Copies of this chain bind each other. A is one copy, B any other.
Amino acid sequence: MFREARQNRIFQDVVEQIQEAILKGTLKAGHKLPPERQLRDMFKTSRGTLREALRVLEQKGLITIKTGVSGGSIVNAVTHRQVSESLALLIQYQRVSLRDLAEFREGVEGIVAGLAAKRANKKDIEQLRALLSEAKACLDEGASRWDAFIRIDNEIHLALARIAGNPVYESILQTIYNNIHLYFDRFLPREERILKQNYRDLRKIVIAVEEGKTAEAHSLVQDHVGRFNRLMEKNQKEKTD
């Protein structure tokens, strides 16, 4: 299955071989790698070195490691993986300001909405409609479901990214949404008036996508994201004053 390891840094060679196998599709998502002690023999190396290699692969997001019997290293799907630690780190440690993120989202999500309007098929529309009615339901149930509403709101944005059909946009926005909740939790005002406004925005957006109106979808999303961002920014100012 694998070559014997060579090179200065043996673990690096092991990483490359396994990565190669995963990315070339020899090892498919969901497959389980042999146990560490067996891999050690296959690569003719020591367990410590092999574990350093697995650590790197885990950090790259290529495998997930579980303990216990029937645990082990499981191959992750290559697509849809987070575009990365690094962007996540930048966001988490706020080297990137809320304003920066907001500006980015306004620009990029506008483009994505335009593409989505151009490319949505019948099934995509159905998904958007389903999310929309979930959102409505949350809103009707009152304050207890507001967090669920916000989650669905995000899902609609990510659905648009998927529908846009470009994995670059999709993975980047996914990374951003995976981390932006840090800001949402702190600065997003939970008021019915605001959430209802959001719902009306989303509804208009879905309709524009459904009717294939690219320019309208673009500007609607831009406005929606922009309004959202200004709200958070105002809230941020008030909290830090």
Question: Any chain B CB within 8 A of the CB of A96?
Answer: yes
Given contacts A81-B86, A93-B23, contact A100 B61 (CB under 8 A): no
Q: Are A168 and B55 in contact (CB under 8 A)?
A: no
Q: Is the CB of B56 within 8 A of A168?
A: no
A29 within 8 A of B: no
| Interface of chain A residues 82 through 110 with chain B (CB within 8 A) | 82-87, 89-90, 93, 95-96, 100-101, 103-104, 107-108
Residue of B nearest to A61 (CB): B86
Q: How many residues of A contact B (CB 8 A)?
A: 39
Q: Which of A18-43 contact B (CB under 8 A)?
A: 23-24
Instruction: Please tell me if A111 contacts chain B, counting CB pairs below 8 Å.
Output: yes
Instruction: Name the B residues within 8 Å of A84 (CB-CB).
Output: 83-87
Contacting residues, chain B, for A104 (C-beta < 8 A): 166, 168-169
Q: 3 tightest CB-CB pairs across the interface, nearest first?
A: A84-B84, A107-B111, A104-B168
